[in-house]
Amino acid sequence: MLEHYTVSRRVFLSFNYVFLACLGIICILPIIHVLAVSFSSSAAAQAGYVKLWPVQFTLSSYDYVMHKPAFFKSILVTLKRVAIGIPTNMLLTVLIAYPLSKEAKKFPMRTFYAWTFVVTILFSGGLIPLYMTVKTTHILDTVWAMVLPGAVPVFNVILLLNFFRGLPKELEEAAFIDGAGHWTTLWRIFLPLSLPALATITLFATVNHWNSWFDGLIFMNSPDHYPLQSYLQTVVINRDLTLMSSADMKSLTEVNDRTAKAAQIFLGALPILLVYPFLQRFFMKGIVLGSVKE
């Protein structure tokens, strides 16, 4: 492929390939190291012997994290949150992005509403008002407390509305001439043409719901209702002894803080690592096209 280019162009492309390859290796090495630490013994990890391969291979860290009912309860809570949160995010994002993608002459209040949403990125009411709102609406200690406060991801709205604005206006005009309304135009024309952007914001929503842990600690009164990341943060990182059984106490002699954290990081990242390859071909196109305004 390079033989069709000039010498300077070939040198430039070769340098880029080498640079990107090195950058990819640099990015993947920390993941390999974390995985190796999670499979190593407590003594080897504590002594710093583990590099890119497990030393004194053991599954003690994973046994400590996974071998109890509370762990699987937290997974079910997280799956429930993802199953409710992602459709909620996507539906509201689409319904908000479509009208905001129109020109001001078609939607006179567009600029006002757009800035109303943008302001929420820059300023928030604070943690105490948020907690009081959740408590007053009687959704405390339910999955809705982790879904509704972030039901409208404004960054995703901005990406999608800019993607909508980049679609040919002639398609919308042709649909209106044929008698289609806004609902038909949205669901039959805009959405089928917006798969890259939709895949991108779906990935963002999935990562957000899966990795979020702080709201679970705040809004859940019972550890039985903790999502996975809140559970791991409490039991593995902080090691709240009130949530540990006698068997958990005994396993602490085989697991140190470093191997437990490594197991947590890998388990937390594994679902996203499995999902991303299926969305990767849409991701770059969606993030680039959705971030550029005409």
- pLDDT > 90 in the chain, percent: 22
Does residue 165 have a pLDDT over 80?
A: yes
**Confidence band, pLDDT 50/70/90 cuts, at residue 241:** low
Q: Do residues 169 and 278 both lie within one domain?
A: yes
- Indicate the number of domains in the chain: 2
Whether residue 200 contacts residue 280, with contact meaning beta carbons closer than 8 Å, is answered with no
Q: What type of residue sits at position 166?
A: G
Question: Tell me: the pLDDT tens digits for 40-82?
Answer: 888 888 888 888 888 888 888 888 777 778 888 888 999 999 9
Q: Do residues 264 and 210 both lie within one domain?
A: yes
Q: Domain boundary residue among 37, 57, 77?
A: 57
Q: Do residues 254 and 182 both lie within one domain?
A: yes
Does residue 291 have a pLDDT over 50?
A: no
**What would you measure as the largest C-alpha separation in the chain, in angstroms?**
73
- pLDDT > 70 in the chain, percent: 85
Query: Going by C-beta distance under 8 Å and a sequence separation of 6 or more, which residues neighbour residue 211?
Result: 229, 268, 272
Question: Tell me: the pLDDT tens digits for 8-52?
Answer: 888 888 899 999 999 989 988 988 998 998 888 888 888 888 888
Q: How far is CA 87 from CA 82, 91, 149, 201, 229, in A?
A: 8, 6, 14, 11, 21
Q: Do residues 182 and 39 both lie within one domain?
A: no
Whether residue 57 contacts residue 209, with contact meaning beta carbons closer than 8 Å, is answered with no
The three-class DSSP label of residue 94 is helix
Average pLDDT on 91-107 reads 90
- Integer Cα distance of 44 and 113 in angstroms: 57
> What pLDDT was estimated at residue 41?
85
Whether residue 289 contacts residue 197, with contact meaning beta carbons closer than 8 Å, is answered with yes
Average pLDDT on 137-166 reads 91
| Nearest by Cα to 42 from 269, 251, 268 | 251
Whether residue 162 contacts residue 290, with contact meaning beta carbons closer than 8 Å, is answered with yes
Q: From the centroid of its chain, how far is CA 53?
A: 28
Q: Do residues 40 and 165 both lie within one domain?
A: no
> What pLDDT was estimated at residue 246?
59
- Integer Cα distance of 174 and 179 in angstroms: 9
Whether residue 156 contacts residue 204, with contact meaning beta carbons closer than 8 Å, is answered with yes
Does residue 166 have a pLDDT over 60?
A: yes
| Nearest by Cα to 38 from 235, 259, 257, 236 | 259
- Integer Cα distance of 132 and 221 in angstroms: 14
Does residue 292 have a pLDDT over 50?
A: no
> Looking at per-residue confidence, does 163 or 265 come out higher?
163
> What pLDDT was estimated at residue 253?
56
Average pLDDT on 193-207 reads 87
Q: Do residues 111 and 15 both lie within one domain?
A: no
> What pLDDT was estimated at residue 169?
85
Q: Do residues 128 and 41 both lie within one domain?
A: no
- Integer Cα distance of 8 and 273 in angstroms: 37
Burial of 81 (0-12, 13-18, 19+ CB in 10 A): buried
Q: Domain boundary residue among 31, 57, 83?
A: 57
- Integer Cα distance of 93 and 236 in angstroms: 35
Q: Do residues 6 and 127 both lie within one domain?
A: no
Q: Do residues 39 and 75 both lie within one domain?
A: no
Question: Tell me: the pLDDT tens digits for 267-282?
Answer: 877 887 887 777 666 6
CATH number for the domain that contains residue 137: 1.10.3720.10
- Integer Cα distance of 132 and 120 in angstroms: 18
> What pLDDT was estimated at residue 136?
93
- Integer Cα distance of 48 and 252 in angstroms: 19
Average pLDDT on 136-159 reads 92
Q: Domain boundary residue among 34, 57, 80?
A: 57
Q: Do residues 187 and 151 both lie within one domain?
A: yes
Q: Do residues 123 and 198 both lie within one domain?
A: yes
- Between the ranges 59-68, 190-199, 239-248, where is the mean pLDDT highest? 190-199
* Neighbouring C-beta atoms of residue 261, cutoff 10 Å: 18
Q: Do residues 12 and 104 both lie within one domain?
A: no
Residue 7: domain span? 1-57
The three-class DSSP label of residue 39 is coil
